A and B are shown apart, each in its own frame.
Chain A
Amino acid sequence: MKPMLVLGLAVALLAGAAPLLSIYGQHIFVLVALYGAVALAWNILGGMAGQMSLGHALFVGAGAYVSTALYLNLGVSPWIGLVAAAAIGGALGALMGYAVFRRKLSGVYFALVTLALAEMALHIVSNVPALGGANGLAIPSKPDFASFQFASKLGFCYAALAILAIVSAVILAIHRSRLGYVFLAIRENERSAAALGIDVVQGKVIAAAISGALAALVGPVYANYVLFIDPESVLGVPLSIDALVFSFVGGLGSLFGPLLGAVVLVPLTELLRGMLAGRLAGVHLIVYGVILILVMRLAPRGLWGLLVDSMARRQK
């Protein structure tokens, strides 16, 4: 259980460090943890099993809307909303995966289907008045534990960290089990995988379901942190691209590289936003582009690969 122990220590360390941060630092902490969790969830399907999604916002958005709609309309606690979010995200992932993969479509086809489905969801939600339409849904501020609203930012630090820890623990568990080898074999060579007794379609559907369920967990936390969701912010293409860019920059093949990508890129984006004070909207996308090109040129295995290589060199 050594990797799990390391994970536990890392989580304890971060939990201990969070109170020492400024309010702004805690805000960045929450964002990094949430984006990091989405990127890690994306990487289960995109990196570990090798099936690139361009629509992971679908899962985050579904999670956010399910939990918020349950809370606003039926008074269901977002804690239960989290479970509902994971269930919906997992079901959407499995359905999407089954629809595409059983037809032996992969690669670009899968990426385009995910993009199309996320866009469809965005436009559907934008036109459903019960879900607030394009205006979105506001959650009334009511700081209490049952409403998943915390009086201080520190509470959200712990909530976001908990989600990140759950996603990380699932990744470690997959990596150590048969499923880890199933994903690896599918990513590396589907014909060989099948010849070794691996049900390739089933493996991909499972990857999509797990990835979707974990990404959806982020939705309710985000919604209750910001107290507002609209289709663009939780179902839009930028969020899907974020998950992909963080994973590429951090290191696609690695287990935790995508988190590293979020750790570097989220504060950078926030910093730029602060420096430019609202001018040049979307400039962070240009910065992403430049960073992506640089990483692909200089560190094809991402920041994680760079880190591993430099540690190996130091040991020699």
Chain B
Amino acid sequence: MNPPLLQVRGVSRWFGGLRAVDEVSFDLTGHEIVGLIGPNGAGKTTLFETISGFIRPTKGTVTFDGRDITGQPPHRLARLGIGRTFQIVQPFRDVSVLENVIAGVVGPNRETSDARAEAMAVLTRVKLDHRAAALARNLSLPEKKRLEIARALATRPRLLLLDEVMAGLTPAEIDDIMVILADIRNGGIALLIVEHVMRAIMSLSDRLVVMANGRKIAEGLPAAVAADPSVIEAYLGRRHHGAA
């Protein structure tokens, strides 16, 4: 059996006395969609920032494709094949949608014969090709979310970290994103998804990792996790993050 694509081992991140992430470990294999869920303040985003290199872990190691990437800067991780999106969309506002995606194509500094054509192909994949010439700041929120995905996809990642790409969207728009994400996975890219939209994460994820108060409290198949009493108590029981 192949070693997992991503191995998170005992990762902790403390801010002063606060243990935002506390000894979290999990694996992710090459063609998997893993959902990372938990109540607000559980440490999901901090863990995410740690895996993508924007925050250094206080303790623990992260291994990608068999190599230790702990503490590596984000641009190097992107070049190794870890793409990410931001919870609050961060497009290059004053340039066109196409230029945003071309920046993603050429960003990792690898050979490309035709960056523009490659960017257009990515835009088609997320159904944003009709907006290629628009300025990024003029996009609607659902379009901006898709641009965020397109740009990360353009770096040709092997693992894509998606931070709440469905937040603030209508059910129909969420359905669109789910189709896109399933298509991305079918194209051979593993996904780690932080999401509050339960309906989407339950149906998309192969496995779930549940966090609360910085710790991993459960891991497993969505149905099994949903039935786990500790998860129900920490998260689903309170129902304040019900399906959008």
Contacts and interface: CB of A to CB of B under 8 A. Distances in A.
Interface of A: 178, 181-182, 184-185, 188-189, 191-200, 253
Given A181-B102, A192-B151, A197 B54 contact: no
B103 A181 contact: yes
Contacts of B75: 193-200
A192 B108 CA distance: 12
Contacts of B84: 195
A256 to B, nearest CB: 17
Contacts of A182: 106-107
A59 to B, nearest CB: 27
A102 to B, nearest CB: 12
Nearest to B106: A178
The 5 closest A-B pairs by CB, nearest first: A197-B108, A196-B107, A197-B78, A188-B92, A197-B107
A192 B95 contact: no
Contact of B52 (A189, A195, A198): A195
Given A189-B93, A194-B73, A195-B74, 10 more contacts: A181-B99, A181-B102, A181-B103, A188-B93, A189-B91, A192-B91, A194-B78, A195-B75, A195-B83, A196-B75
Interface in B87-105: 90-95, 99, 102-104
A195 B53 CA distance: 9
B103 to A, nearest CB: 4
A189 B88 CA distance: 12
A198 B152 CA distance: 12
A182 B106 CA distance: 8
B79 A197 contact: yes
A194 B107 CA distance: 9
7 contacts: A182-B106, A184-B99, A184-B103, A189-B91, A189-B92, A194-B54, A195-B74
Given A194-B78, A196-B155, A185 B107 contact: yes
B154 to A, nearest CB: 8
Contacts of A199: 73, 75
Contacts of B90: 189, 191-192
Contact of A181 (B86, B107, B155): B107
Contacts of A200: 75
Nearest to A178: B106
Nearest to B80: A197
Contacts of B94: 188, 253
A253 B135 CA distance: 14
B140 interface: no
Contacts of B83: 195
Interface in B108-141: 108-109
B78 A178 contact: no
Contacts of A195: 52, 74-75, 78, 83-84, 86, 152
A199 B79 CA distance: 10
B149 to A, nearest CB: 12
Given A194-B78, A195-B52, A188 B95 contact: yes
Nearest to B73: A194
Contacts of A184: 92, 95, 99, 103
A181 B151 CA distance: 13
A196 B99 contact: no
A249 to B, nearest CB: 19
B93 to A, nearest CB: 6
Contacts of A191: 54, 86, 90
A181 to B, nearest CB: 4
B184 to A, nearest CB: 17
Nearest to A198: B107
Contacts of B91: 188-189, 192
B29 to A, nearest CB: 23
Nearest to B110: A197
A98 to B, nearest CB: 16
A110 to B, nearest CB: 20
Contacts of B104: 196
Contacts of A185: 92, 103, 107
Contacts of B53: 194
B16 to A, nearest CB: 21
A198 B79 CA distance: 9
Contacts of A188: 91-95
> Which residue, A184, A189, A192, A196, has most C-beta atoms of chain B within 10 A?
A196
> Which residue, B53, B90, B151, has most C-beta atoms of chain A within 10 A?
B90
B86 A192 contact: yes
> Which residue, A184, A185, A195, A200, has most C-beta atoms of chain B within 10 A?
A195
Contact of A196 (B54, B73, B151): B151
Contacts of B108: 196-197
Interface string B31-63: 000000000000000000000111000000000
B46 to A, nearest CB: 15
> Which residue, A188, A189, A196, A197, has most C-beta atoms of chain B within 10 A?
A197
A316 to B, nearest CB: 16
Contacts of B155: 196-197
A192 B102 CA distance: 13
Contacts of B54: 191, 194
